[in-house]
Structure 1
Amino acid sequence: MSTGPQEAEPALTARVREQLAHRHPNCSIGELTTLPGGHSGLTYSVTVGDARYVVKAVPPGQRPIGRNDVLRQARVLGALAGSAVPVPGVVAVEDGQPAWFAMDFAPGEALEPVLDEPEVPAATARARMLEIASVLRRLHETDIRAPGLDAPEPLDAAGELTRWSRTLHAVPAELRPGGEDLLTRLADAVPSGAVSSDTQPVLLHGDFRLGNVLCVGERAVAVVDWEIWSVGDPRIDLGWFLLFADHRNFPHLGRAVPGLPTEAELLDTYLGGRPPLPAMDWFRALGRMKMAAIMGHNLRRHREGKHHDPDQERLPPTIAAMIRTARDILA
């Protein structure tokens, strides 16, 4: 649930104002206004003279871990500054309690063509998806030894499967038909470790898709929402990204977008003439299992009264479709 600007912690407001005043002396500083749509920490917008910034902060009383670890997000943004991957510039960081950082407010819209409103013109949606396939390749070419990144231990296919299997297992069995069989098939066919230079550990976004890339026209201007970035097999990001190329993956939720790139076209654009990646079908199935686990988790929380959102009741057909099509891919 969003909070209004008047509910921003006075101490946080004072700290943000002090830091930004140093950057913009003699400029008026506006209120911290809650930005809607955020799913991690607290997210505000603030104007300073003619400039505008986004502030992300740890919620009061909560620990800076997981999705609330805003300093970790600032770290990856700082490591990518000036790289071939467009990201907002970080302008201030404070590690006191609660920790927060401020970054440039990037223009543009982050809309998933098959899911989000308003609808994106078909030609624009196609161009954007092909554009960010190239952005994803550039992200995966980033040196994970970049100064300040402090990269974690790499995720491999087996580790990613274990992590998301726990999430799916926590979903009531009636909400994940065929889920146990899918997990068994995935476990029986886990690809081995890195088999080529193209599957060595890379910097992973974790939720790479158009909904997390701000675009102006057909151009990507900023990759955002870095809450779950990690280091690991590039096919983890790819298997997730490809899910959003086909509205049929989202029964009762998705809409058809004429001319949207196929998974094969997106892979070709990502590869840029390089050899195909091995075992991509396994990672495509893994992406579907992860989506089923996330949707099942959200639906369970709604039904248990932990997060009331009647819209979650639209999810069962898509959860079933994710599991069914993942099994079909592996078969």
Structure 2
Amino acid sequence: MSTATEVSELAARVRDRLAHLHPGVDVGELKTLPGGHSGLTYSVTVGDAAYVVKAVPPGQRPVGRNDVLRQARVLGALAGTPVLVPGVAVVDEAQPAWFAMDFADGEAVEPVLDEPGVPPATARARMLAIASVLRQLHATDLRTPGLDAPEPLAAAGELERWSRTMHAVPAELRPGGEELLARLGDDVPGELPPVLLHGDFRLGNVLCTRARATAVVDWEIWSVGDPRIDLGWFLLFADHRNFPRLGHAVPGLPTEAELLGAYLEGRPAPPAMDWFRALARMKMAAIMGHNLRRHREGKHHDPDQERLPPTIAAMIAAARDILG
């Protein structure tokens, strides 16, 4: 069966289920939403209602980032909690699986990376606002019905996972990477009580209207574990200098210290944050190195990946500096 046929059959299934949800209302055509990096993502209108559909790509297994049912479960579990998430309207477990969620208002713009951006004052207000969103997310009761929290992710496990990714990157693309991994491994901090983790929390994954957050999206890699894993990743995006040849300056963005203060809201700072800040930079270097390697091996042609080497080197160097 061709990919086009499979996508057409998926569209027919989606339109049929949404028609049952809205009897007598015309269902529009599925339109591909740009910007997604995992699964298939579409928008569709049904009368005055609008939905986002996420589906397993044809021919691929529903695992990892393509496990859309796992995403639907966490969204359903968080409905009615202080964490702002889109409502889930339909879940279809037949393969290829898919689900439809409410189309939330807002835009997701990463200030130092995305073009076009937003006014600097708006970018600053949004970053400070979503620091509070992350605090609320981490305060989620892990016993919430339907959450089915997995085994907690420890700092050592996170380091081991991303070390494997880093080691798969050719040595010439990760200068100083071995020393960084060794230094991280020599001083793994003790664990904090586990919380709900988004896994990729940043402005690029939070829809905002003006300075107000409306929904946290892209839950492909959610887990449970040390809150500093999310926090170190979030702080990474506060400074364009972390992304040579990729980032651009945005005047007035909060510093990492300001963002951390907004998250803590008067509470004491958690210990060993520098280790998690360095870990976040190692993870970013590993991800970029992996993507560049795939491009150069012809597995995923994307000439834009050739811009990554300076940022990979800068991430590793900055992580080593943070560790002293």
Indicate the TM-score class for this superposition, using the shorter chain for normalisation: over 0.9
* SS, match of residue 261 in structure 2: helix
What is the percent sequence identity of the aligned residues? Answer: 81
* SS, match of residue 43 in structure 2: strand
Number of the residue aligned with 2:257: 264
TM-fit CA distance, 1:59: 1.3
Offset from partner CA, 1:167-210 (integer Å, 9 cap, x none):
0000000000000000000000100223xxxxx10000000000
Worse-superposed segment, 149-158 or 34-43: 34-43
1:144 partner amino acid: L
Tell me which of 124, 127, 138 is aligned to 1:126: 124
Long gaps (5+) in structure 2: none
1:140 partner amino acid: H
Offset from partner CA, 1:64-109 (integer Å, 9 cap, x none):
1001000000011111111111111100001111111000111211
Number of the residue aligned with 2:317: 324
- Residue pairs, 1:38-77, within 5 angstroms: 38-77=36-75
Q: 8 Å contact 1:34–1:44 — kept in the other structure? A: yes
Number of the residue aligned with 2:31: 33
Offset from partner CA, 1:22-61 (integer Å, 9 cap, x none):
2111100011111111111111111101111111111122
TM-fit CA distance, 1:11: 2.5
Distance of 1:124 and 1:226 partners within structure 2: 24
Q: 8 Å contact 1:88–1:106 — kept in the other structure? A: yes
Number of the residue aligned with 2:241: 248
Distance of 1:54 and 1:193 partners within structure 2: 37
**Corresponding residue pairs, total:** 322
Q: 8 Å contact 1:141–1:202 — kept in the other structure? A: yes
Structure 1 length as normaliser, TM-score?
Answer: 0.95
Offset from partner CA, 1:267-293 (integer Å, 9 cap, x none):
011001111110000000000000000
- Residue pairs, 1:1-331, within 5 angstroms: 9-194=7-192, 200-331=193-324
Long gaps (5+) in structure 1: 195-199
Offset from partner CA, 1:289-312 (integer Å, 9 cap, x none):
000000000011111111111111
Number of the residue aligned with 1:197: none
Structure 2 length as normaliser, TM-score?
Answer: 0.97
Q: 8 Å contact 1:285–1:326 — kept in the other structure? A: yes
* SS, match of residue 237 in structure 2: helix
Distance of 2:246 and 2:97 partners within structure 1: 37
Q: 8 Å contact 2:142–2:149 — kept in the other structure? A: yes
Q: 8 Å contact 2:30–2:42 — kept in the other structure? A: yes
TM-fit CA distance, 1:8: 6.1
Q: 8 Å contact 2:6–2:58 — kept in the other structure? A: no
TM-fit CA distance, 1:151: 0.8
Distance of 2:115 and 2:214 partners within structure 1: 20
TM-fit CA distance, 1:7: 6.3
2:317 partner amino acid: R
Distance of 1:143 and 1:39 partners within structure 2: 29
Q: 8 Å contact 1:90–1:101 — kept in the other structure? A: yes
TM-fit CA distance, 1:112: 0.5
